[in-house]
Amino acid sequence: MSDSFDAPVWHNGKALRKGYTTGSCATAAAKVAALMVLRQHLIHQVSITTPSGVALCLNVESPQIEGQQALAAIRKDGGDDIDATHGMLIFARVALNDSGQITLCGGEGVGKVTRKGIGLPVGSAAINRTPRQTIESAVREVIGPSRGASVEIFAPEGEIRAQKTYNARLGVIGGISIIGTTGIVTPMSEESWKRSLALELELKRAAGLDRIVMVPGNHGERFVRERLGVDSQSIVTMSNFVGYMISEAVRLGFRHIVLVGHPGKLIKVAAGIFHTHSHIADARMETLVAHLALLHAPYELLTAVSQCDTTEAAQEHIDAWGFQHIYNHLAERICLRVAQTLRFTNHPPVCDAVMFSFDNQLLGSNRPLQNIAEELQC
């Protein structure tokens, strides 16, 4: 494996080993299966490049060739960040055809999406966008521009392993999700993780920036680039550590903070929850119901929202009843909560909040988005 992957993460004098995601496993399995179909011989190692640019050389298990199709498996390795999928086999079956198209589906042990809320169509396999792209790209690289292929990702242990995850709560039934935005699993204690995020904030301040956009992750960064016209230099990841990163921004003297994210994260801040991981607190639906009630929403809408598992699912009811203005209201409430936490600060920064949907559409902001964007570009 590459040096950048082999380099451990150090914490309290202990070297922690990195791992790779189910998305990387599925990509590698699909690539090697396609190679075996074309070459008509078994292959026992395969190399891929992850979305974050890290090269992986992975061992292939259970390779088989059956005429114009082949299958192969990669064993998931979470490094020292062990989760429910650690050690399980992720398979890919690839069959060549003359369609010119690559089709991707999920088989045994890969969950099915049963409700809206995670950015995938209802009824589709729970294979997230980035792994879909990397799988299709890897297979296309192997088979060339004119051939077609059908790709099936499956995981025989998936249904049992999924019982240890939150998939059922998110409407993913019958198996695991194939996930990963970087392809690499980086083990970190919470304190190490927070410190690494704050270090990025320090570097941006040292470069002369005094306005900063904070996002939970990659989806937020994409929205900021596309809808606010702000480049990555002004964006920092806050993950779940909203309160900590705001405090660090104040310490460093930033004068304008913009919180941008999906309601699934940001709505918690409106309730005064500044660490947004679900193991700390989860009052998303309660917060939505309370503020919808303040806006005189009918009892039927409050009941429907209270029974939702995700804010994306709740959005459908909110849209149907014409209460989309709840998001502007919540964005204002988020800014109020931030102001309350900074009430003893001598020179508190200006704070804005922006919420967007999984399809990259603006849901709400505390003031017009154009005004926020213009100030960020000053």
**Residue pLDDT, tens place only, 7-48:** 666 655 667 788 999 999 999 999 999 999 999 999 999 999
On the question of pLDDT at 280 being above 80, the answer is yes
Residues 6+ apart with CB under 8 A from 165: 84, 176, 177
Statement to judge: residues 203 and 154 lie in one domain: no
CATH number for 115: 3.30.2110.10
Last residue of a domain, one of 162, 185, 208: 185
Of 190-199, 212-221, 263-272, 356-365, give the lowest mean pLDDT range: 190-199
The model's pLDDT over 127-169, given as tens digits with 9 standing for 90+, comes to 999 999 999 999 999 999 999 999 999 999 999 999 988 788 7
Q: What phi, psi does 77 have (nearest 5°)? A: -130, 110
Give the Cα separation of 371 and 228 in Å (integer).
10
CA 100 from centre of chain: 30
Statement to judge: residues 168 and 305 lie in one domain: no
In the prediction, which pLDDT does 189 show? 60
Statement to judge: residues 205 and 326 lie in one domain: yes
In degrees, rounded to 5, the angle at the alpha carbon of residue 188 between the alpha carbons of residues 183 and 190 is 125
Statement to judge: residues 267 and 365 lie in one domain: yes
Statement to judge: residues 115 and 135 lie in one domain: yes
On the question of pLDDT at 94 being above 50, the answer is yes
- The proportion of the chain whose per-residue pLDDT surpasses 70, expressed as a percent, equals 95
Last residue of a domain, one of 166, 185, 204: 185
| Domain count for the chain | 2
In the prediction, which pLDDT does 3 show? 45
Statement to judge: residues 228 and 347 lie in one domain: yes
- The proportion of the chain whose per-residue pLDDT surpasses 90, expressed as a percent, equals 72
Statement to judge: residues 84 and 210 lie in one domain: no
In the prediction, which pLDDT does 119 show? 76
Give the Cα separation of 76 and 176 in Å (integer).
12
Statement to judge: residues 49 and 171 lie in one domain: yes
209, 248 Cβ separation under 8 angstroms = no
On the question of pLDDT at 187 being above 80, the answer is no
CATH number for 272: 3.40.1050
Statement to judge: residues 148 and 208 lie in one domain: no
**Burial, 98: exposed, middle or buried (Cβ in 10 Å; 0-12, 13-18, 19+)?**
exposed
Q: How would residue 125 be classed by pLDDT, with cut points 50, 70 and 90? A: very high
User: Which pTM does this prediction carry?
Assistant: 0.68
Give the best-scoring range by mean pLDDT among 81-85, 213-217, 321-325. Answer: 321-325
Length of the chain: 378
355, 262 Cβ separation under 8 angstroms = yes
- How many CB atoms sit inside 10 A of residue 363's CB? 21
- For range 361-378, the mean pLDDT: 93
Statement to judge: residues 98 and 163 lie in one domain: yes
Give the Cα separation of 121 and 105 in Å (integer).
13
Statement to judge: residues 171 and 232 lie in one domain: no
310-to-120, 302, 322 alpha-carbon distances in Å: 13, 14, 19
Domain, as residue range, for 128: 3-185
Statement to judge: residues 141 and 234 lie in one domain: no
- For range 331-340, the mean pLDDT: 97
Last residue of a domain, one of 161, 185, 209: 185
Give the Cα separation of 34 and 141 in Å (integer).
10
The model's pLDDT over 191-246, given as tens digits with 9 standing for 90+, comes to 767 877 888 899 899 889 999 999 998 788 889 988 888 888 899 999 899 999 99
Instruction: Tell whether the torsion through CA atoms of 65, 66, 68 and 72 is positive or negative.
Output: negative
